[in-house]
Structure 1
Amino acid sequence: MKSTPLKYLFGTFLIVAMTLPLMAAAAPAKPNILLIIADDLNNWIGPNKGNPQVKTPNLDKLAARGVTFQNAQASAPLCNPSRASFMSGQRPSTTGIYDNQQPAMPHLPRGVCLNDYVRKFGYTSLGAGKIYHYHQYREEDWDKVVFYADDTLPNHPAKRRPGPFGYRMFTEDKPDAEFNEQRAESELVDARSVSWCIDQLGQQQGAFFMACGVHRPHVPWDVPKKYFDMYPLESVKLPPILTNDLADVPPAGIAFAKPNGVHQAILKAGVWQDRVRAYLAAISFADAQIGRLLDALDKSKYRDNTIIIFVGDNGWHLGEKEHWAKSALWRRATNVPLIWVAPGVAKPGTECDRAVDLTSIFPTVCELAGIPTPKHAEGISIKPLLKNPSAKWKQPAVTTFLQNNHAICTDEWRYIRYADGSEELYDQKADPNEWTNQAAKPELAKIKMELAKSLPSVNAQPVPENPDPGPKGKKARKANRVAAADPEKE
């Protein structure tokens, strides 16, 4: 065999040496990740068609760029367990974090939560606003994080309209009504959080993970008057209601609904229409703040290389099933907005009707970012649905409220089983308002049995609540529990 001349070997080496840097330069950069979280937002946004009255132009534009999930379900219908779940990728039934009084961070080790995990792979982690439950976050899990105090919270001494979920309107100039208060929109907590995120966009050099928590439409619905003006009171329509809707609901479900509590107080005060208007106004305010952030991203150099995820942490009832707020396993409390924009992957302007839950966020981010999905993440990546929203999907969505109460949701059915074994079953296509509980029908026993296979096999014991906050002891802890039961005091 003839030997290869040295000059040819040298020439080959030179070509390879010159090509490698070019190959490295051509390698695609890691995508940036922008996670926007709205608080207590049900499916009353334009892309989800939950309420035809709502005005959300910025979310409408976002949906035109990606995939809108019409059947996305929260892992828990309550702020703290929901956020702990989708940020850690673990179900409440695994962590034992079921309620708002249970501090999450002591039970979610370093490196487990998404914002900390991605840092192992070169991401700068940034956060502003309510990402975990209020101040429940570890500063060391972030490169930069801010949390602005919200002085519109219910414990802030101020005049509000009477009745449950009273609110104030803010005006830019001199107040023109008894309950109005002069305050610039830019001073409100959501505007401040968004402004911080916009500022950070101009400072980044490498790949970043940015989470922006928008507090509205969480109560109190204290937003500028111009957003109320978008919804003249006389034109506001109530959600579809069935008289005696709770007649076929088991006692466990009625206990969650509390029909003789807030709902009766709303009726007595005659403010149902007014409170629907206030919720709509708060949604439009949130939409405006989100629009500011999206506009800034579009004007930046990151527009074409940023994955955008918009999500709500849980839904919200406004009188459906004689219930207000969250803390229930029906669709209005669990169905949340979920919009994905993933350049080169997500099909723009499309909708997906497949049932997914929010544990899917963690593994999907990992797959799109090209980083390994950790073993602790329990959800399934929805990348196939981003590419083809009509793709086959067999995994049901699972929602848990408190220990051993679960809802299993598919494209066709919602199956609820409470801790005492009682059940509800709704046909999601024929009965989207969930007015007829079919759990007692013998001919549907096989369907219930099949859905029950997706019930969590582990129902962890609840982690400890916050310790007694000082000398008041039990009395103070009871007050905390009451505050969680009434979202107006959350």
Structure 2
Amino acid sequence: MFAILTHPAKLTLKALCGLIVLVLSVTTSQAQTAQRPNIIFIFSDDHAYQGIGAYGNQIVKTPNIDRIAREGALLTNNLVTNSICGPSRATLLTGKYSHLNGYKRNDRTKFDTSQTLLSEKLRNNGYQTAWIGKMHLNSLPAGFDYWNVLPDQGHYYNPEFIGQPNDTTKYTGYVSDLITQFATGWLEKRDDSKPFFLIVGHKATHREWMPDLQDLGAYDNVTFPLPSTFYDDYKGRKAAADQDMTIDKTMRMKFDLKVGVDYEKDFLYNRLNAEQKKVFKAYYDKVSKEVTDKNLSGKALVEWKFQRYLRDYFSTANSLDRNIGKLLDYLDKSGLSKNTVVIYASDQGFYLGEHGWFDKRFIYEESLKTPFVIRYPGVIKPGTKVNDLVVNIDWAPTVLNIAGVKTPADMQGKSFLPLLKGPQVAAKTPWRKEAYYHYYEFPQPHHVYPHFGLRTNRYKLVYFYNGADSWELYDLQKDPKEVSNIYGAKGTEKLAADLKIKLKALMDEYKDDEALKILATAKP
């Protein structure tokens, strides 16, 4: 092109003008591409917000997640629409509630990739896209230029990955390290003429909580305080009383806490190589001996299980945070930090002994709320906090907004980017006052009754159905632990009636016809 410009005599004036327009157009396009930010969405599994330093936990160490929050924004009321793994990932990709995106439960449902997807919208608008790590949607990634994902739940040690086009390869190593290795490897080889969108899906901290060898025993010198609701009696809460997710009765000594494991026959441990097995077995043999020697029973055994659970859980979280740090370091060293948005979130919240539980599912705060921190250099002021009710249907529209792409009409969320730009912009931004929730999976695996409800800044109203058939109402200002169901109490009649009207309005807005039919026949 520039060789031609050195011989203007050979060009007509019209041709020369056309060429100048072309050069300006290319230059402008390149400048716009350079300004459009890269976006990395780090997505963990079952990582509780109350187990993160930035959210107030002073015992555990999460320096790299804390760094993202410190250098950007932290959402204090980031809620999910359906507190369970696969459905949350489907919502990230679609910006829609489970009843519309078709993925309600963690079963063998195959995620419908023909619907409007975040990844496809970004790719069609000039982004290079990739998903690396855990996906858990019973389908291969769609709308992604590159993927290397774990089959189903994946394994902590020596896991298989499915690459393109559909090749399964087993790797030696720990899953968090491998995911980071593949992510940085892709970043090295990407098309650097395009901005990129990368989802890094971590397996940690999903149940069976197998820490990396270097993290075994990381919290053995810590005695975790029992949550105030650990011995909850579930009075006035039929569904809470009838679940199967307690540390006492549901958590298994062998599978969950590694007591008395058969390292040759058990499918989780016979995949370890000789060196890994030696270290792993030596540590957990001591754990098994401890509980055998103590001969515990009753509350003493339950509390021992609680301590053992949290020690494994947070030791597993160490690898997650450390690998987030590796990725941040890579961005710094490669010069990508200045123009890369980094988001960290979990697929939903998780119980760390509250109400005596582990797992998620309920609309109660510990599983309804999930961590969300975001760093956007030059746009989000470091140390920003957002207290508004953000829902995970908002994640996709926000990412699209950051990328300069219009939100598709069939996405039900809206961008909360204005809320991240400071109190003056946020104050001018109309935002929701109520958030809607609907959970479906029943009776397996934890016998949590299906339910729907809404949360406001102060109140929560929920209806359990399919056998529980009961209402619950909480004043979160007076009862933040949600142990006092005030539905039906004298003086709450108008409040409950008003909240039911708002609940129905949300069902109408989000087109949840199934819920509307149940609500119409719900017990008063």
The bucket for the TM-score relative to the shorter chain is 0.7 to 0.9
Question: For residues 256 and 271 of structure 1, do their structure 2 counterparts lie closer, same or farther at Cα, with a shift above 3 Å needed?
Answer: closer
**1:283 matched residue in structure 2:** 317
**2:143 matched residue in structure 1:** 141
SS of 1:61's partner is helix
By how many angstroms is 1:407 displaced? 3.3
**1:175 matched residue in structure 2:** none
2:492 pairs, out of 431, 438, 444, with 444
Question: For residues 128 and 354 of structure 1, do their structure 2 counterparts lie closer, same or farther at Cα, with a shift above 3 Å needed?
Answer: same
Alpha carbon RMSD of aligned pairs, Å?
A: 3.2
By how many angstroms is 1:202 displaced? 1.5
**1:240 matched residue in structure 2:** 228
2:438 pairs, out of 393, 396, 400, with 400
By how many angstroms is 1:246 displaced? 0.5
Is the 2:74–2:385 contact (alpha carbons within 8 Å) kept by the matching residues of 1? yes
SS of 1:317's partner is coil
By how many angstroms is 1:287 displaced? 0.7
By how many angstroms is 1:23 displaced? 5.1
Please give the residue correspondences for 1:43-122 in structure 2 after superposition, counting only pairs within 5 Å. Answer: 43=49, 44-49=51-56, 51-105=57-111, 108-110=112-114, 112-122=116-126
Question: For residues 19 and 415 of structure 1, do their structure 2 counterparts lie closer, same or farther at Cα, with a shift above 3 Å needed?
Answer: same
Identity %: 26
CA distance in 2, matches of 1:23, 1:111: 33
Structure 1 stretches lacking a partner, 5+ long: 1-8, 157-184, 463-490
AA matched with 2:242: A
AA matched with 2:103: I
- What do residues 335-354 of structure 1 show as CA deviations (whole Å, max 9, x unaligned)? 11011222333222121122
- What do residues 244-277 of structure 1 show as CA deviations (whole Å, max 9, x unaligned)? 441121x234334555741698955641111122
The two structures have a TM-score, normalised by structure 1, of 0.77
CA distance in 1, matches of 2:377, 2:114: 30
1:199 pairs, out of 185, 210, 214, with 185
The two structures have a TM-score, normalised by structure 2, of 0.72
Please give the residue correspondences for 1:145-156 in structure 2 after superposition, counting only pairs within 5 Å. Answer: 145-148=147-150, 150-152=154-156
Q: Is 34-43 or 273-282 further displaced after alignment? A: 273-282
Question: For residues 233 and 423 of structure 1, do their structure 2 counterparts lie closer, same or farther at Cα, with a shift above 3 Å needed?
Answer: farther
Structure 2 stretches lacking a partner, 5+ long: 1-12, 161-170, 258-298, 442-449, 516-524
CA distance in 2, matches of 1:345, 1:442: 49
**2:417 matched residue in structure 1:** 383
1:348 pairs, out of 360, 374, 382, with 382
**2:206 matched residue in structure 1:** 218
SS of 1:231's partner is coil
Question: For residues 374 and 442 of structure 1, do their structure 2 counterparts lie closer, same or farther at Cα, with a shift above 3 Å needed?
Answer: farther
- What do residues 221-255 of structure 1 show as CA deviations (whole Å, max 9, x unaligned)? 11135434432345322323264441121x23433
Q: Is 384-393 or 333-342 further displaced after alignment? A: 384-393
- What do residues 66-120 of structure 1 show as CA deviations (whole Å, max 9, x unaligned)? 1100111122111111111222111013234221004242xx2435221222111
**1:254 matched residue in structure 2:** 241
By how many angstroms is 1:398 displaced? 2.5
- What do residues 383-424 of structure 1 show as CA deviations (whole Å, max 9, x unaligned)? 121112664633423232107622322222222222365222
**2:477 matched residue in structure 1:** 429
By how many angstroms is 1:292 displaced? 0.9
Question: For residues 213 and 109 of structure 1, do their structure 2 counterparts lie closer, same or farther at Cα, with a shift above 3 Å needed?
Answer: closer
By how many angstroms is 1:378 displaced? 0.5
Is the 1:233–1:273 contact (alpha carbons within 8 Å) kept by the matching residues of 2? no
SS of 2:307's partner is helix
Is the 1:66–1:348 contact (alpha carbons within 8 Å) kept by the matching residues of 2? yes
CA distance in 1, matches of 2:115, 2:338: 28
Please give the residue correspondences for 1:184-195 in structure 2 after superposition, counting only pairs within 5 Å. Answer: 187-195=173-181
2:462 pairs, out of 416, 440, 445, with 416
SS of 1:191's partner is helix
Question: For residues 357 and 140 of structure 1, do their structure 2 counterparts lie closer, same or farther at Cα, with a shift above 3 Å needed?
Answer: closer
By how many angstroms is 1:319 displaced? 2.8
Q: Is 1:41–2:27 an aligned residue pair?
A: no
Please give the residue correspondences for 1:299-378 in structure 2 after superposition, counting only pairs within 5 Å. Answer: 299-378=333-412
Question: For residues 288 and 320 of structure 1, do their structure 2 counterparts lie closer, same or farther at Cα, with a shift above 3 Å needed?
Answer: same
Is the 2:95–2:411 contact (alpha carbons within 8 Å) kept by the matching residues of 1? yes
